[in-house]
Structure 1
Amino acid sequence: MAHLPGSPWPANRFYTTASPFNRFVLILPLIMLLAMGAFVLLTYREAQGALLDEFRVALREEVSNLETVYREEGLQALRQSIDRRAKIGEAEHTIYLLTAADGRRLAGNIDGWPAGVPAADERSVTFSDPLDGSTVAAEVFLLYGDLRLLVGRRAIYEQVGEHLLRNYLWLSGTMIVASLACGWGFTRLIRRRLGTIVSTARTIRADATSNRVPMGHSGDEIDALIVELNAMLDKQDKLIVYARQSSFAIAHDLRHPLSHLRNSLSDVAGELRGLSQAEHVNALIGDVDHILAVFAALMRLGRLESGAQVLVRRPLMLSALAADVVSLYAPLAEEHGRKLVLEAESCLVSVDRELVGQALANLIENALRYGEGEVRVLVMQHGDDATISVRDHGPGIPAVQRERVTDPFYRLESSRHSPGSGLGLALVKVIAEAHGGRLQLLPGEPGLLAVMHLHAGEEGRA
């Protein structure tokens, strides 16, 4: 049996006897047959009981009428009435018998008292007709003078049972054919849709990573599975692209500071006795700090995206946290002739203080580095959510690039020659998502409005 390359499953897995679809097609008719058989048996027993009850009521009434004839008109009239009714009753499967105390037949349409039937007054009995073996339901009545009267009727419910059995067999055959056809059609549809998923997965495994499973139009559970699979593939694509870009970007971004560090070290080696020794050492420290900052941001970003970073949520006043961060960067803004303004509502949230503080710091740094004019920080609460907005009055970000600037190491052409690593907004986005929120980059008209949404509850990745 052929197997998929690199897979323990056969290529025609859906068509083997181990397939759940084949088992479904075979087991479903069997279950339906058992259910139908139980229904027919129950129906037969109910019909049998109902017919017997009707028989016995009619027989008792017939016995009562004959007793009245005997009491009012005598034995001869009784014998004549029984013989007359017996002739009529042959076509209606009715049995009549009147015997003396010694068992001698006096009237009726059977030869003698049935074996095994007790001669007890007002007794309901059932016995087999000696002529054709059919079941007879009868009533026994003892008349005055030790006369014994038996009135019975052949139980036609046996014929009803035969009809039910024939109909059951026909219905069973029809049901088996219909269930097999419906089951085969249904499983064929499911197999086709699952086959599409398997085929697409096989194509993706063959390095065609841009392929996606085509969506159906039914909106059922398989479509929901396809949505999740495609989302997983998109995330996997992003992670692969991120890994490839990261390796290249790290090499690119670290080459210049490392080269500068080497040249500076050469200069220091030649100027150990010079007055500029301290200045060179400080420059080296700055380069090393930049390298360490890039590596620290990469590690934090990787831990957050992989879910390895555990959020330490604590209730805190978001306005107080924002005030601390703003006060930290206010001197830097003043050095560049800029103004940092905070407008904060009083809102209590449960977040990771360190991560949210880092995200706000990144947004402020981004506004101070690439924006212009006043930088305004706004903290607001909306029901169970809180937002931190940072707006500058610079050139902003073109609409077509607003989504890409949150990718790690992606930088606009205008900012490639300025300090930075391209990890700031990527880290803000991941921190917001870890808290069950999101990052929005909107036009500030002029400038850029960065809005970080945070969920105030315990939701979010941890």
Structure 2
Amino acid sequence: MTDHNIDFSMVLASAVHDMKNSLGMLLNTVDELRIEHESTLAGSDKFNMLQYEAERMHNDLVQLLGIYRLGENNLSAHIDEHFLPDFLSDHMARHMPLLDGLGIEYVIEADEINGFFDDDLLTGVLNNTINNAIRYTENKIRLTAREEKGYLVIGVEDDGKGYPESMQHTGTLSFKSLDFKSGSTSLGLFFASSVAKLHREGEKTGSIKLRNGGRFGGGVFEIWLP
């Protein structure tokens, strides 16, 4: 007798996890191909698009798994100490082949400070934010880290047209704010906001800020962690 009491969300989560791992292997292969055939692939628009879209899908799947775990009350922050210049350099290195291929300039300006946060969760946030900056920038991206008002502030800036007024805000997003009809769900921002909220110290809670300006006059994404 067939059991029809299937937890479909669990099935989807399992499938998403497998797809995420497969895309991770694909991205590693793409990196290896770029190195092996640098002279022919470095400036290839098609190859750069392949890598960008694969990275974007991988980020989306990471976020979906995180949001699933959040819904199951199974997502928590495991706080460790990290040296910010090294942390940001490691994450920029992941994107350097694509940035170089697209001719995008990049700079890291991080104060020599330590921060306390969940490495894996922040990795998901940063990868998605850098990937978005690659999509909207003209040709410059900047990563920053500083302390302000008792918070660690990690920022990603670009020299694109910036965020539309409707997206500029300070604080946190709720799941109800996602608009699945418009085709622009802000899923990445919801994930980033959720990750920020998982970081708490006393009465302080993490949040994200979206604005325009910065050094390049484009979009500025910041995650504030206590």
TM range (shorter): 0.5 to 0.7
Task: Give the aligned partner of residue 388 of structure 1.
Answer: 154
Give the alignment partner of residue 429 of structure 1, picking from 177, 189, 193.
Answer: 193
Q: What is the CA-CA distance between 1:323 and the residue it aligns to?
A: 1.1
Is residue 377 of structure 1 aligned with residue 143 of structure 2?
yes
Task: Give the aligned partner of residue 359 of structure 1.
Answer: 125
SS at structure 2 position matched to 1:316: strand
TM-score by length of 1: 0.32
Give the alignment partner of residue 217 of structure 2, picking from 442, 446, 449.
Answer: 446
Q: What is the CA-CA distance between 1:378 and the residue it aligns to?
A: 0.7
Residues 1-40 of structure 1 aligned to structure 2 (within 5 Å): none
SS at structure 1 position matched to 2:163: coil
SS at structure 1 position matched to 2:103: coil
Change (3 A) 1:371 1:287: closer
Distance in 2 between residues matched to 1:364 and 1:287, nearest whole Å: 13
Could you list the per-position Cα deviations for residues 317-341 of structure 1 after superposition, in whole angstroms to 9, with x for gaps in the alignment? 1221111001111221111110111
Change (3 A) 1:411 1:364: farther
SS at structure 1 position matched to 2:96: helix
Q: Which ranges of structure 1 fall in alignment gaps of 5 or more residues?
A: 1-246, 251-285, 456-462
Residues 137-176 of structure 1 aligned to structure 2 (within 5 Å): none
Change (3 A) 1:305 1:348: farther
Change (3 A) 1:412 1:328: farther
How many equivalent residue pairs?
A: 165
Distance in 2 between residues matched to 1:361 and 1:398, nearest whole Å: 21
Residues 347 and 386 in structure 1, CA contact (< 8 A), matched pair in contact too:
no
Q: Which amino acid aligns with 2:224?
A: H
Task: Give the aligned partner of residue 88 of structure 2.
Answer: 322
Q: Which amino acid aligns with 2:145?
A: V
Q: Which ranges of structure 2 fall in alignment gaps of 5 or more residues?
A: 1-8, 13-51, 200-204
SS at structure 2 position matched to 1:346: coil
Is residue 337 of structure 1 aligned with residue 108 of structure 2?
no
User: How well do the aligned residues superpose, as a CA RMSD in angstroms?
Assistant: 3.4
Higher helix proportion? 1
Residues 33-432 of structure 1 aligned to structure 2 (within 5 Å): 294-304=60-70, 307-382=73-148, 384-403=150-169, 407-408=177-178, 422-432=186-196
Residues 394 and 448 in structure 1, CA contact (< 8 A), matched pair in contact too:
yes
Distance in 2 between residues matched to 1:443 and 1:327, nearest whole Å: 25
Q: Which amino acid aligns with 1:361?
A: N
Higher strand proportion? 2
Residues 162 and 212 in structure 2, CA contact (< 8 A), matched pair in contact too:
yes
Q: Which amino acid aligns with 2:207?
A: R
Residues 108 and 144 in structure 2, CA contact (< 8 A), matched pair in contact too:
yes
SS at structure 1 position matched to 2:95: helix
Task: Give the aligned partner of residue 271 of structure 1.
Answer: none
Looking at CA atoms only, which structure, 1 or 2, has the larger radius of gyration?
1
Distance in 2 between residues matched to 1:367 and 1:289, nearest whole Å: 13
Change (3 A) 1:449 1:288: closer
SS at structure 2 position matched to 1:396: coil
Q: What is the CA-CA distance between 1:312 and the residue it aligns to?
A: 1.3
Distance in 1 between residues matched to 2:118 and 2:150, nearest whole Å: 16
Distance in 2 between residues matched to 1:432 and 1:412, nearest whole Å: 25
Q: What is the CA-CA distance between 1:425 and the residue it aligns to?
A: 2.2
Q: What is the CA-CA distance between 1:402 and the residue it aligns to?
A: 3.0
Change (3 A) 1:342 1:431: same
Q: What is the CA-CA distance between 1:400 and the residue it aligns to?
A: 2.1
TM-score by length of 2: 0.62
Task: Give the aligned partner of residue 27 of structure 2.
Answer: none
